[in-house]
Amino acid sequence: MTTGRTLGALLAAVALATVASLCLGGRVFGPVEIGQALWSGDGSAHDQVIRDLRVPRTLVGLLVGAALGLSGALMQGLTRNPLADPGILGVNAGAALGVALAITQWGIVAPGGQVGFALAGAALTTLVVAAIGRPRRGGDVVTLTLSGVAVGAVLTGLTSGLVLLHPRAFDSMRSWNAGSITVVGYDRVLAVAPFIAAGVVLALVLGRSINALALGDDTARALGVRLVRTRVLALVAVTLLCGAATAAAGPIVFVGLMVPHIVTALIGPDHRRVMVCSLLAGPVLVLGCDLLGRYVAQPRELPVGVVAAAVGAVLLAVVIRRRP
């Protein structure tokens, strides 16, 4: 499929997923009702559900999906590792530990305050994984992946321990820790949107350099790419994207791993195009998993993180089976 057709299809899919997220749920609304609630609502209960619940939930799904999809594509290009993913490399776990510390140790419950801790946790985790997993002599990318898995497991255990030691924090973090966009407000959208926007701009600017890095360090250097500068800026972009996404919705896995794989299968390995398409495909996957979670366990809902893990595991198995 050509890049133009893929972009068109993804834009249509994002629009469709957005409308479906606003309309579907425990109470189904028609597009006309959605429009009336947004532009000329009378303050009824239905209008409040749409404005105060559905809209911020959809906006967070769009932001988180875009951040995770793009960060996954960026990490895979930067490390030349098809298994690179914010979840597998432990970045999400670091951000989650930062939020857990903010809540349990300092009582910070405001989304704006939690974002800073999430960014710090993501940044420190990225540095630790990079230091541990850096191959010494001719090592392969599996070393980095194993380091990320090990560090992520330790950080996840620490987060669980903190939450269990603080029952009140456990009550407030239960759905967040499973990866949820169910109970969010505009304050959370406003808190994370600037960081995700900055990460998106920085990642897309690095597209050409990431493409060159995929050819190897020597080739990239011959093409005029500043390796250290590119890697540092890429890690900054990953930290902004993953830290803000985790602060908004908790640790959601597999999105950053699977989206670039699907996009690459459609348009090829050009990382500039893969990153742009992953930016659009991520929200489709997150909102799709959220919609599935609204209906699969009715009358209750499953967090998007649980559904994404199940869907991602199936997709990963398909990818593995199709590899030569």
| pLDDT digit string, tens, across residues 181-207 | 987 789 999 999 999 999 999 999 999
Give dist(CA 115, CA 155) in Å, integer.
18
Residue 20 lies in a domain: no
Over residues 149-191, the pLDDT tens digits come to 899 999 999 998 888 888 777 776 777 888 889 877 899 999 9
Cα of 78 vs its chain's centroid, Å: 17
Long-range contacts of 158-166 (CB under 8 A, 24+ apart): 158/97, 158/100, 159/93, 159/96, 159/97, 159/100, 162/97, 162/100, 162/101, 162/104, 162/105, 163/100, 163/104, 165/104, 166/103, 166/104
Least confident of 45-54, 95-104, 128-137, 154-163: 128-137
Model pLDDT, residue 139:
45
In a domain, 219, yes or no: no
Distance CA 141, CA 44 (A): 55
Q: Which domain does 281 fall in, by range?
A: 252-323
Q: pTM to 2 decimals?
A: 0.91
Residue 287 has pLDDT above 50, yes or no: yes
Q: How far apart are CA 156 and CA 311, in angstroms?
A: 21
Residue 214 lies in a domain: no
pLDDT value at position 157? 92
Q: Which amino acid is at 295?
A: Y
Count of CA atoms in the C-beta half-sphere (13 A) of 274: 30
Is 297 a member of any domain? Answer: yes
Rg from Cα positions in the chain: 19
Find the angle CA(85)-CA(87)-CA(93) to the nearest 5 degrees: 140
Q: What is the DSSP string of 122-137?
A: HHHHHHHHHHHH--SS
Around 205, how many Cα atoms within 13 Å sit in the side-chain half-sphere? 13
Q: Which two tokens stand for residue 194?
A: 């600037």
Q: Token pair 């996954």 is at which residue?
A: 72
For residue 250, what is the DSSP state? -
Indicate whether 196 belongs to any domain. Answer: no
d(CA 264, CA 322): 14
Q: How far apart are CA 292 and CA 20, in angstroms?
A: 11
Compute the average pLDDT of residues 53-72: 95
* pLDDT-above-70 percentage for the chain: 94
Instruction: Tell whether 24 is covered by a domain.
Output: no
Residue 138 has pLDDT above 60, yes or no: no
For the chain, the average pLDDT equals 87
List all residues 6 or more positions away from 19 whose beta carbon is below 8 Å from its beta carbon.
31, 34
Confidence of residue 137 (pLDDT cuts 50, 70, 90): very low
- Please state the rounded mean pLDDT for residues 135-143: 55
Rounded CA separation 159/189 (Å): 24
Q: Which residue did the predictor score with more confidence, 322 or 219?
A: 219
Nearest Cα neighbor of 28 from 58, 7, 50 is: 50
Q: Would 199 be classed as within a structural domain?
A: no
The count of structural domains within the chain is 1
Rounded Cα gap, residues 72 and 308, in angstroms: 15
pLDDT of 260: 92
pLDDT the model gives residue 242: 93
Interval 251-273 mean pLDDT: 89
With respect to residue 272, please indicate whether it lies within any of the assigned structural domains: yes
